[in-house]
Amino acid sequence: MALRTLKPIYAATAVLILIAVAVRVASTPQRELPHIVRAQVDVPQMDYSPQAGGCGNIFLFKQAGGEVLSVHVHLASAQIDLFKAAEKKEFAEATFDLAVATKGLQVEIELWDGFPRFCDCIAGRAKKTATWMAKKGKLTITIHGPAGTEVSSDCYLASALLEDVVFEDDRGRQVTLKKEAIKKVAVGWMAG
C-alpha cells in the first residue's frame, strides 16, 4: 500500500517509523562484517607513557597501548660491576654500544595485539605481533641504590637511557628512537 493512500496521520506515523528503522540500522555496529577491522600498526610509534615498570635483574619497560619498549639485562653475564652494585644496592653506571653484541643484553620494541602483562605471575591474553631489535645506539644503565621501604628489601632502583637507538624488524625495516629514559624503576625480586 502506498503512503499516499493512507490517511495523513497514518502516513506521518509510517514515515517516522521508516526513519527510526533507517537510523537504527545505520547506527548498528557492523560486527557481522569481518573485513571491517581496525588497522594494526606494524611499525613502532615510539610515543611512550612517562610511567615505566620493571622487575628482575634487570627488566625495564615502557608502554604505549600494545607497544612495549623493553630493556632486559641479565646482569651476571652482561656487566659484572653492575651486578655487584645491584647485589649491594649501591650506585653504579655502565654504558653499552648496542652495535656490539653483549651477552645477556637485549633491547627491543615489541608490538602486541593488546595490552601485555609483565612482571607478575599472571599471563595476559595479548599476543606478540612483531619484534624490533636494537641494532645500534647507546644505552646507559644506572643502579641508584635501594628502592625504599615501600618495596621489598630485595629491590633497588634502576634507570635506562637510550640514545639514537636504531631498531630493525625481521623484514629489514628500521626506525630510530632519538632519546628515551626509563627513570628510577624498582627492580629486583619481589612477590607479584
Residue 134 has pLDDT above 50, yes or no: yes
Which residue type, as a one-letter code, is found at position 65? G
pLDDT digits (tens, 9 = 90+) for 90-102: 888 989 999 998 8
Residue 2 has pLDDT above 60, yes or no: no
CA–CA dist 70, 108 (Å, integer): 6
Q: What is the pTM of this model?
A: 0.72
Tell me the helix, strand and coil percentages in the chain, rounded to 5. 20, 40, 40
Which residue type, as a one-letter code, is found at position 158? A
Contact 135, 109 (CB under 8 A): no
Average pLDDT over residues 91-119: 87
- Alpha helix stretches (DSSP H) within the chain: 8-27, 75-78, 80-88
The mean-pLDDT minimum among 25-29, 91-95, 166-170 falls in 25-29
Q: What is the Cα 123 distance to its own chain's centre?
A: 15
Q: What pLDDT does 32 receive?
A: 34
Q: Is 167 exposed, middle or buried (0-12, 13-18, 19+ CB in 10 A)?
A: buried
CA–CA dist 44, 6 (Å, integer): 61
Residue 15 has pLDDT above 70, yes or no: no
Q: Ranked by mean pLDDT, which of 1-5, 29-33, 41-45 comes out on top?
A: 41-45
**Run of H or E residues at 73:** strand 67-73
